[in-house]
Amino acid sequence: MNLFIDRLITKMKEKDSRICVGLDPHIDQIPEYLMLEAGAREANNQTKYLEAAAHAVKDFNKVIIENIKPFSAVVKPQLAFYEQLGLPGLKAFKETVKFARESGLMVIVDGKRNDIGSSAKGYYNAYLNKENDSNKPALGFVKADALTINPYLGFEGVEPFLENEEAGIFGLLRTSNPGAEKIQNLMMASGKRFYEELALMFEKWGEDYCGEMGYSNLGAVVGATCPEELAELRKLMPRTFFLIPGYGAQGGGADDVVAGFDSNGCGGIVNSARSIIFAYRKELYKDKYKEKEFGLAAAEAAEKMQIDINQALEKAGVING
């Protein structure tokens, strides 16, 4: 069983978990003691500050990963938070991906990459390239399990990312941000909305990349804040696995994401970032955990999310408790 999607579903079943933890390290929310220990507060120039802040991010991520790994099969680092720290940030990103995979977690890189031809192949080489069986050096920046992409250049901008069957991609389809509907809900001449037409394309594009469990290595990003559209897309896309953002801080809840799953409780993974990794700052946990116990707060928040989603699916008659 080599296909990414089969490995993902198997790992989710092993952990009885449908959650993905977003590693989005907002610098202004990193525990102050980590910033102090790394020397970020004493840095007197940009180079030193970026190096120190990246070091704090790396240490923060490692604590989060250690604490949430019993409750999640997947983490999703958002590249923007690492790129803003320059080369030190990219090094922290690379070490985070390596540490997560060594900890038994799968990694979805959230980069929303998009291009065609050799440029798309370059992004593929950077994040999803196959292991090199020859003695020649291989291209690549990190070894991730999946990457988010922007599909709006058509199949030419999608196909290069599907070369490695052990890796997957998630294309933007119906996102959870408020302004998305102005574009994604545009009515087409066919009478369908734009995202519906794109959904049918996804199903067609992914049909040659399906695994033994019925889903394709080409997945789709569908927001939790649009439950009716999520339900509609689940019917339109029986072979497409959903990455569902928007849970928690963006307003989506357990009942909202139920529609993204099939009758066996499969077909989707729900992402939450701030509500888990910065749980120690939230009203529910801030009196219970000290700053240095941020990992314990994250663990409790991840476990709660895991249980809440499973209970919502059980209530809907999708899975048995």
- The count of other CB atoms within 10 Å of the CB of residue 321 is 7
What dihedral do alpha carbons 36, 300, 252, 104 form, nearest 10°?
Answer: 80
Residue labelled with tokens 């080489």: 125
Per-position b or e across 276-305, b if 16+ CB within 10 A of its CB: bbbbbebeebeeebeeebbbbbbbbbbbbb
Residue 278 and residue 113: Cα distance in Å, rounded?
Answer: 27
Residue 247 and residue 294: Cα distance in Å, rounded?
Answer: 20
Do 239 and 214 form a contact (C-beta atoms < 8 A)? yes
Active-site residue identified among 13, 62, 112, 121: 112
For the question of residue 15 being annotated catalytic, the response is no
Per-position b or e across 65-85, b if 16+ CB within 10 A of its CB: bebbbebbbbbbbbbebbeeb
3-state secondary structure 118-187: HHHHHHHHHHCCCCCCCCCCCCCCCCCCEEEECCCCCHHHCHHHHCCCCCEEEEEEECCCHHHHHHHCCE
Instruction: Name 240's Cβ contacts closer than 8 Å, sequence gap at least 6.
Output: 199, 202, 203, 206, 215, 216, 218, 219, 220
User: What are the distances in angstroms from CA 165 to CA 20, 95, 208, 274, 279?
Assistant: 21, 24, 11, 31, 36
Catalytic residue positions?
112
